[in-house]
Amino acid sequence: MPRPDTLPAWQQLHAYREVVGAGRLPSPHWQAGEAGWLQMQAGPLHADLSRHRIDARGLELLVELGEQSGVSVRHARMLRGDRVNPTEGRAALHVALRGEGPLVVDGIDLRAQIESDIGAQAQWAEAIRGGTWRLSSGDAVRHVVNLGIGGSDLGPALALEALAAGADGPACHCVADLDPRALRGVLADCEPSATLFVVCSKTFGTRETLANAARAKQWLRAAGVAERLLQRHFVAVTAAPERAAAWGVPAEQCLRLPEWVGGRHSLWSAVSLVLQIACGPAALTGLHRGARTIDAHFADAPAHANLPLLMGLLGVWYRNLLGAQTQAVLPYAAPLQRLPAYLQQLEMESLGKRVDVDGEAVAWDTGGVVFGSSGSHAQHAFLQLLHQGTLLVPSDILLFDDTAAEEPALNANARAQAQVLAEGGQVALAPGGHGRLPGAQPVSLIRAATLDAETLGALLACYEHKVFTQACVWHINPFDQWGVELGKQVALGLQAAGGPG
């Protein structure tokens, strides 16, 4: 994989940038009403990328940059199980979890393993939902608390909230924070005799997760649960079942989390168990089906109509050529209010790198800051800065057609914000220049018919492939995250030294 500053398209883009300057929005194609300009369908998603600071020549150079960066070649290497995470010597096969067809890596039939794991997840979900699994009291499970952090919390918490309308199982909760108040607040609404904990930790050594799991044990003991029966209240999702067994979760109550699945991609795995308990195993099937449509789209769609590829390349354009440091994500759907937090991990943990795959310092900007909230809140909080501030902030606005009938103003607001961010305008009642909105903020408008498991799966896969595209261009490894380790080590040292916290 070549460094970007050695590629002809990279040099040509910088020369092109000098000629066109900062550009203007909307693009000349959008101004002229050119039919189909940067409009595309990707599975259940329809995307309108016409409000971007790019014309046909700039787009052509971006596509060439993607080709010269070897996006398709590296994608094929990832899919066949090559060790594309060089610092940890691992494959990155999260896409395989939702895939179909044969997959043999190092002589091992991974497809058979994956199907077996999915079957085990479904069996556990049905046993808990149907009351077959009984707790120490003999009661069926009425509350489930997922204990995890990072990818073991952000994905399940997002999916639980996004798909809550279809929940018909036990009440499910997610707790991640090391602060004891987080778990206490959830357990205040739970009964010890009817509560199951799902401990999600790939290494079964995650400090925050094990601290909360220990508190859960103590809560059960305080309620009178006998020590020998505590295990009835715990299931583990881990790549280290021996550690889970030593802690107190029997091997038969452990679901496998493969080593080749990174935390921020783990929703596709048994980490989704809490979602399956809440909504049934069909929820995972829907997530996988939606993601597969985007996997196929990313692999097969032509570059000029390839949504995740173009999202990634446009992000490179703004970051490296126009100096943007941030990206806003604005879902006009209350159930997706956790999406920006999920994408913060996906993008900022993957792309927050200052050295390339060879360990050499980069000479170009890499990942930026992702932020956002539900669109309704954003309008009354921070969109003022995007409209009249001095920062260039590209935005993704997400909307869903099925909400329009119930509350037409929601999607009207989404479309209005896209228009005003791009075109600007004048507030009639404001004096002088105070009411002037310059526009020229890039906007992607992504819409779907409804927010269901398939649509959610497609959305998440789309952002995964966007991040993969940018990592290829920037010549970095998006699958490791060494930057978080030093703080953990220092914290352990400070704790061991004693003294005030």
- Catalytic site includes residue 488: yes
Structure tokens at 133: 């699994």
How many other C-beta atoms lie within 10 A of the C-beta of residue 435?
Answer: 13
- Catalytic site includes residue 380: yes
Q: Which residue among the candidates 100, 115, 242, 488 is catalytic per the annotation?
A: 488
Structure tokens at 192: 């010890």
The DSSP bridge pattern shows strands 395-400 and 443-448 to be parallel
Are 159 and 169 within 8 A, CB to CB? no
Q: Looking up tokens 């896969």, which residue turns up?
A: 461
CA atoms within 13 A on the CB side of 115: 8
Question: Which residues share a beta bridge with 425?
Answer: 437
Q: Which residue among the candidates 18, 252, 380, 406 is catalytic per the annotation?
A: 380
What single string gives the DSSP state of each residue in 21-36?
TT--SS-HHHHTT-TT
Q: How far is CA 461 from CA 74, 366, 480, in A?
A: 17, 21, 19
The DSSP bridge pattern shows strands 104-105 and 39-42 to be unpaired
Structure tokens at 11: 């040099």
Give the H or E element holding residue 495.
Answer: helix 485-497
The span from the CA of 234 to the CA of 318, in Å, is 47
Q: Looking up tokens 């989390």, which residue turns up?
A: 257
Looking at this protein, which amino acid is placed at residue 295? D
Looking at this protein, which amino acid is placed at residue 213? A
Looking at this protein, which amino acid is placed at residue 37? W
Q: Which residue among the candidates 349, 423, 454, 464 is catalytic per the annotation?
A: 349
What residues have CB less than 8 Å from 240, skipping those under 6 apart?
Answer: 201, 202, 203, 204, 205
What residues have CB less than 8 Å from 267, skipping those under 6 apart?
Answer: 151, 155, 156, 158, 159, 287, 460
| Best CA proximity match to 239, nearest among 263, 262, 253, 257 | 257
What residues have CB less than 8 Å from 137, skipping those under 6 apart?
Answer: 193, 194, 225
Q: E strands within 6-157?
A: 39-42, 45-51, 104-105, 108-109, 143-147
What is residue 361's DSSP assignment? B
What single string gives the DSSP state of each residue in 461-493?
HHHHHHHHHHHHHHT--TT--GGGHHHHHHHHH
Residues with catalytic roles:
349, 380, 488
